[in-house]
A and B are shown apart, each in its own frame.
Chain A
Amino acid sequence: MICIVALIIFSILGIFSATHRQMAKEALDCVFRRVTLRPCNTGFKEKIKSHMVAKLLNRSTFLARAFNRYYEVFAWIFFILMIASTFYVVKGGYNYYLYGSCNGLNQSGFCAFDPKGENNKVTEINASCGIEEKSEKNVSLDGVDLSSFPTKQVGAKDTIVLIGCYECDYTRKAYPDIQKLVREKKTNYIFAHYPAKENTNFLSEVGYCVYKEYGDRFWSFNDYLFTVDKVEIYQSEYINTILKNFDFDISKINDCVNDSATKEAVTNQVNQLRKTHLYGTPTVFINGKAFVGPKPYRVYKSVLNKFIIF
């Protein structure tokens, strides 16, 4: 028992130090019963035990005696803790690979691989959207009508939906990855602007109108809004310049933006988005599966891969 525990511990320590590598080797021998206690040879177990008891003896006779007597019990406890923690580490690693978080998809608890939780950060959506507890379990596309949003239908079986906001850092972080994924995996794509930040709320209408008036020319405009410096999109005057640069008819777009039907349509869009129970941007749906916060590219991609990693 102790051999297995020691093997695991020393193997890990062995990465950093040669002495521990030697111990790991002894532990391995011990596991495979190559070194057993012989009258002229110390067994590995006995060695470990003696070292620990002696260390304790220098501090407290009581502890040393207890340890000496209940050594096997301690060994079992260690073993169980070890197995449990190994299980969690492996599971954490697996989750991190697949979902960008040790604790599972969109879970924001501490993760050693992503200590700052970068992969789960979102721009929170103000309280108006929900009495409901924020939980990714509730986030779904069920009963949500996305037909009015900019859509690229290429007849693929996979569909990616990106809900983000132009001004939000985390959406901006995820945006290029999503574009790349759509391109690489040739999926259908729906983009929905969620007005999470005041400065750029007005862009919902602008985007709506550009798509309505110019169809597929919307996409390069959209790319631009996500990549240009944020301050350039805070004000409508700047937007006019941008629209002009894209060769869009400014007055036509402005008329559309000021049209009450547009306002109604955009409000309607936001209401649809709220039905997803989203609590932050970016929220990405890949074939209906929600990813909240900017995930590493591999996480998004793994959903569309045939065999997880390729």
Chain B
Amino acid sequence: MLDYEKIKKDFLLVSKQIKGKPIVYFDNACMSLKPRQVIDAMNEYYFEFPACSGRSSHKLGEIVTKKVREARQIIAKFINAGEQEIVFTRNTTEAINLLAHTFPWVKGDLVLTTDKEHNSNLIPWQMLVKNKGIRHRVVKSKDDGTFDLEKYKELAKEARLISMVYTSNLDGTTIPAKEIIKIAHENGALVFLDAAQSAPHKKIDAKDLDVDFLAFSGHKMLGPTGTGVFYAKYSLLEKLEPFMVGGDTVEYSTYTKHEMLKAPEKFEAGLQDYAGIIGLGEAVKYLEAVGFDSIKKQEYELNKYITDELSRWPKIKIIGPGDPALRSGIISFYIDGVDMHQFALMLDEMSNIMIRSGQHCVHSWFNDKKIYNSARVSLYFYNSLEEASVFINSLDKIMKII
């Protein structure tokens, strides 16, 4: 059960008002709010021990080294990974680029993606098609937006890397990752999962999934902005050649040669965002304390309420499956002939309802489907039914004039 009083205390914005009206923050797929604990942990770093980790052996240096190590352990455990298997990045995008730039490509290698990839998991492959002569193919979803395993099985036979969005930021659907990975491995391919929208909402068990690579962003799961994690099975991580090197990546160097550190250090070049990493560790602790069962339950209830209400207006079309249970905390919808930006702007102006509008960086899907853009409500556990009904009431007014 969620303790709403505690949530209000931890997330000050939840009870904040703008121009006398409460804020209804429904743009969590882009960026989540941050609890006080995360901010405090970062402040603590800046106020108490703003030093380097790993390098300096003085007292402050030791505290940072210890705190960063702890955070790394917490975060690794969060996805059931080994401490040495995670690399800190700035975000999911950087993690994907890390993989794209360090993977030992051979001309003609085939990369498979879904048809709902965020640009972050599309453009790097398109670049490699251009620069390294790899091939890229898209596994189209079924009509209801769910994953087409049959088509995938066909294409997987030739693939070298399957790089797929685990939970889509477009419609909230989650792919059957375990099966996909199993099939890939049977065909000798490796699998990367873009878990930017999964990590905040569901338990990820890297070992159980047997996934080879995975990435997520801290800022979408209560963590500080500009924090991200790249996971790789250690045996694979060791084989990747870092593409960004320098300070903190080598054991020693002479004027002519150097000895690389082991993974993950060899990938974390230069001073890191220690405050961010420590903050992310705190975010993970917070999420685990709330528990994914409660998170899922709350998101489902709100998603169901909003989905049911939206069905009052036949003009409104929801992207993805009708069943809210299949759409995580996301309700992406559009109305033919209406610019959803205006929709979002009106909601914001009328009742401080903050949603995202546009193509959510999944241009390719919109272009393919010839849909102009959509409005996207993305929920998180701190959202309440009360907020959902403010949204529906305002929507009701807008629907009267369009």
Chain A residues near B (Cβ < 8 Å): 37, 39-43, 46-47, 49-51, 53-55, 57-58, 61, 64-65, 68
A271 to B315, CA, bound (A): 86
| Inter-chain contact A40/B363, CB cutoff 8 Å | yes
B130-138, B240-248, B265-273, B341-349: which lies at the interface: B341-349
B346 & A53 in contact (Cβ 8 Å cutoff): yes
Please tell me if B366 contacts chain A, counting CB pairs below 8 Å. yes
With a cutoff of 8 Å between Cβ atoms, the chain B residues found around residue A37 in the complex are 339, 341
- Chain B residues contacting A53 (CB-CB under 8 Å) are 342, 346, 401
Chain A residues closer than 8 Å to B342, beta-carbon distance: 42, 46, 49-50, 53
Shortest Cβ gap from B334 to chain A (Å): 11
Decide if B345 touches A54 in the complex (CB within 8 Å). yes
Q: Are A39 and B358 in contact (CB under 8 A)?
A: yes
User: Which residues on A sit within 8 Å (CB–CB) of B401?
Assistant: 53, 57, 61, 64-65, 68
Q: Please tell me if the beta carbons of A58 and B345 are within 8 angstroms of each other in the complex.
A: no
Additional pairs, 13, CB under 8 Å, beyond known A43-B341, A68-B402? A39-B358, A40-B358, A40-B373, A46-B342, A46-B345, A50-B341, A50-B342, A51-B349, A54-B345, A54-B346, A54-B348, A57-B350, A61-B397
A65 to chain B, nearest CB (A): 4
Q: What residues of A have a CB within 8 angstroms of the CB of B358 in the complex?
A: 39-41
Residues of A within 8 A of B400 (CB): 61, 65
- Asked whether A50 and B349 contact (CB < 8 A) given A37-B339, A39-B373, the answer is yes
Contacts of B372 in A (CB 8 A): 39
Of chain B, the residue at the smallest CB distance from A66 is B401
User: Which chain B residue has the least Cβ–Cβ distance from A53?
Assistant: B346
CB distance from B384 to the nearest CB of A (A): 22
Contact A54:B349 (CB < 8 A) given known A39-B363, A65-B400, A68-B402: yes
Q: A-B pairs with the 10 shortest C-beta distances?
A: A54-B349, A50-B345, A54-B346, A65-B401, A40-B358, A42-B341, A50-B342, A54-B350, A39-B373, A39-B359
A40 to B391, CA, bound (A): 22
| Pairs A–B under 8 Å by Cβ, sample size 23 | A37-B339, A39-B358, A39-B359, A39-B373, A40-B358, A40-B359, A42-B341, A43-B341, A46-B345, A50-B342, A50-B345, A51-B349, A53-B342, A53-B401, A54-B345, A54-B349, A55-B349, A57-B350, A57-B401, A58-B350, A61-B397, A61-B400, A64-B397
Q: Which residues of chain A come closer than 8 Å to B127, judged between CB atoms?
A: none
In angstroms, Cα B345 to Cα A54, docked, is 8
Contact partners of A47 in chain B: CB under 8 A: 341, 345
Across the interface, name the chain B residue whose C-beta is closest to A42. Answer: B341
Bound Cα distance A40, B30 (Å): 14
A51 CB to nearest chain B CB (Å): 5
Q: CA A68 – CA B395 in complex, angstroms?
A: 15
Chain B residues contacting A55 (CB-CB under 8 Å) are 349
| Min CB gap B263→A, angstroms | 36
Please provide the chain B residues from 88 to 141 with a CB less than 8 Å away from any CB of chain A in the complex: none
A41 CA / B358 CA spacing, docked (Å) = 7
**How far in angstroms is the closest Cβ of chain B from A26?**
13
Q: Which residues of A contact B357 (CB under 8 A)?
A: 42
Given A39-B358, A40-B358, A41-B358, the answer on whether A57 and B363 have CB atoms closer than 8 Å is no
When distances are taken between beta carbons in the complex, the residues of chain B under 8 Å from A50 are 341-343, 345-346, 349
CB <8 Å contact, A46 and B339: yes
Interface string of B330-368 (1 = CB under 8 A from A): 000000000101110111111000000111010100100
A129 to B305, CA, bound (A): 86
Assembled-state Cα–Cα distance A40/B339 (Å): 11
**Distance of A58 Cα from B390 Cα, bound (Å):** 13
Q: How far is the CA of A37 from the CA of B343 in the complex (A)?
A: 14
CB closest chain-B residue, reference A45: B342
**How distant is the Cα of A49 from the Cα of B344 in the complex, in angstroms?**
12
Q: In whole angstroms, what is the CA distance A57 to B396 when docked?
A: 11
Q: Give bound CA distance, A166 to B366, whole Å.
A: 84
Most buried by B among A49, A54, A58: A54
Assess whether A57 is in contact with B345, with CB atoms less than 8 Å apart.
no
Contact of B398 among A41, A51, A57 (CB under 8 A): A57
Query: A65 contacts which chain B residues (CB < 8 A)?
Result: 400-401
Complex CA gap A61/B339 in Å reads 19
What residues of chain B lie closer than 8 Å to A49, measured between beta carbons? Answer: 342
- Which residues of chain B come closer than 8 Å to A64, judged between CB atoms? 397, 401
Minimum CB–CB distance from B302 to chain A (whole Å) comes to 23
Contact partners of B346 in chain A: CB under 8 A:
50, 53-54, 57
- Give the residues from 368 to 402 in chain B that come closer than 8 angstroms, CB to CB, to chain A: 372-373, 397-398, 400-402
A75 smallest CB distance to B (angstroms) = 15
Q: What residues of B have a CB within 8 angstroms of the CB of A39 in the complex? A: 358-359, 363, 366, 372-373
Contact A51 B345 (CB under 8 A): yes
Q: How far is the CB of A47 from chain B (nearest CB, A)?
A: 6
Kindly state the separation between the CA atoms of A47 and B341 in the bound complex, as whole angstroms: 8
Closest residue of A by beta carbon distance from B402: A68
Q: Give the complex CA separation of A68 and B346 in angstroms.
A: 11
Q: How far is the CA of A94 from the CA of B357 in the complex (A)?
A: 48
* Closest chain B residue, CB of each to CB of A52: B349
Contact of A42 among B345, B359, B361 (CB under 8 A): B345
Distance A46 CA – B397 CA, assembled complex (angstroms): 18
Q: B397 touching A57 by the CB < 8 A rule?
A: yes
A180 vs B390: C-alpha distance when bound (angstroms): 72
Q: How far is the CA of A276 from the CA of B281 in the complex (A)?
A: 93
**Which chain A residue lies CB-closest to B21?**
A58
The closest CB in chain A to the CB of B371 belongs to A39
| B158-174 interface bits toward A, Cβ cutoff 8 Å, 1 = contact, 0 = none | 00000000000000000
State how many angstroms separate the Cβ of B363 from the closest Cβ of chain A: 7
Q: Which residue of A lies closest to B347 (CB)?
A: A54
Residue on B nearest A64 in the bound complex, by CB: B401
Q: How far is the CA of A54 from the CA of B397 in the complex (A)?
A: 9
The closest CB in chain B to the CB of A58 belongs to: B350
What's the Cα separation between A50 and B401 when bound, in Å?
12
Q: Tell me how far the C-beta of A123 lies from the nearest C-beta in chain B, rounded to whole angstroms.
A: 55
Q: Which residue of A lies closest to B339 (CB)?
A: A46
Complex alpha-carbon distance, A271 and B350, angstroms: 72
**A50 vs B397: C-alpha distance when bound (angstroms):** 13
